[in-house]
Amino acid sequence: MKKHGWKLGPVIALILAFFPWFILHAQIGLRVEMSQQNYLQYEPVFVRVTMRNLSGHALAFGENEGLRGTLRFEISTPHSGGYAMQLNHETPPLKGVILAPGTSRAFTFNAAKYYDLRRLGVYKLKAVIAHPQLKSAYESGTVQFSVVKGTDVWKTVVGIPQYLSARTGGGKIATRQYRIVTYNTGTSFLYILLIEDKDRIYLIRRLGLDLGSNLRPQCAVDDLSRLNLLIAASPKVFAFYQYDVIGNLEKKEVRIKSNTTPHLVVNKDIGTVMLSGGRPARRDLDYEEIKELPFVSRAMNDPSRDITGGKSIIDEKDDD
């Protein structure tokens, strides 16, 4: 470029308007987004990191020392003034990523897998990326999110069946708690299922939207201490789940209202729970797939590629 005496003010303003990372981060542009404003305590905390390569060279992340780039988060914790403790030496993986010059890639990570985010309150997060080919580390801007307790709408304690219990002789019967919680993500209210005891959480799973008091979840425990759960995915479509005390999903079925409404039938004499009413629902005919965020591109109104796809609440694959 010839060194004419241009007036650079308008040019810089134009660049900043269309390429906000360009001046701030000369070689790597970083942006972080949270999947929602609030997260229930102990649930995954999803963050999307978008990297843009402005170095003019391909940037590869690999195992060799000259390619061993790292991504980490700096997360300020509520009330302490310090940073969230890293749970182990593991960092969000970038191995195998090749970022061509001028291109962008988006990656979704569960920050709670790497950092202790159990404390209730407001957190501030930023991403930091380093690479041997870069002269310095680069930081993103800061985003804010909260970890909240939620409100119990139903809970019960059950004994662990003998076939799942290691209890012998006259020892005490081990117990487990089923709990349904609702909380505000910042844009909507969700129902969450937790299976827990005093020492650990065995399952935390999103069930669906809180559609109001008239469509609260129907819950019943059977003779094998399994939780039978019917949740409204819409005013007409209902999803049935059956979980054991470990958190294994044993049954699932989707039904739609017909001349009757889906509901649970409990036989207290023999301890069975059955699903009755409605008829089997047909995916894409009776209902559309309900996506579980973190990040569905059209929900974020962003066409950038994301390596993590949204999972269906109704059609989620059985938990491993």
Which domains occur in the chain, in start order?
Answer: 8-148 (2.60.40.10), 151-312 (no CATH)
Strands 291-292 and 311-312: antiparallel
Q: Cα separation of 125 and 70, whole Å? A: 16
pLDDT at 290: 52
pLDDT at 311: 36
pLDDT at 170: 60
H helices, E strands: number in the chain: 2, 23
Q: Cα separation of 53 and 98, whole Å? A: 10
CB 155 within 8 A of CB 178: yes
pLDDT at 166: 63
CB 245 within 8 A of CB 195: yes
SS3 13: helix
pLDDT at 167: 53
pLDDT at 136: 87
Report if pTM > 0.75. Answer: yes
Q: Cα separation of 196 and 238, whole Å? A: 25
65 phi, psi to nearest 5 deg? -60, -35
pLDDT at 66: 66
Could you read off the pLDDT tens digit of each residue along the chain, which spans 320 residues?
444 444 444 443 443 444 444 333 458 889 999 989 999 999 999 999 999 998 888 888 877 776 778 899 999 998 877 899 999 888 888 888 888 999 999 999 999 999 999 999 999 999 999 888 888 899 999 999 999 999 999 999 999 998 887 655 567 889 999 999 999 999 989 999 999 999 999 999 988 888 888 899 999 999 999 999 999 988 999 999 999 999 999 999 999 999 999 999 999 999 999 999 999 988 778 776 655 433 333 333 343 333 333 333 444 333 33
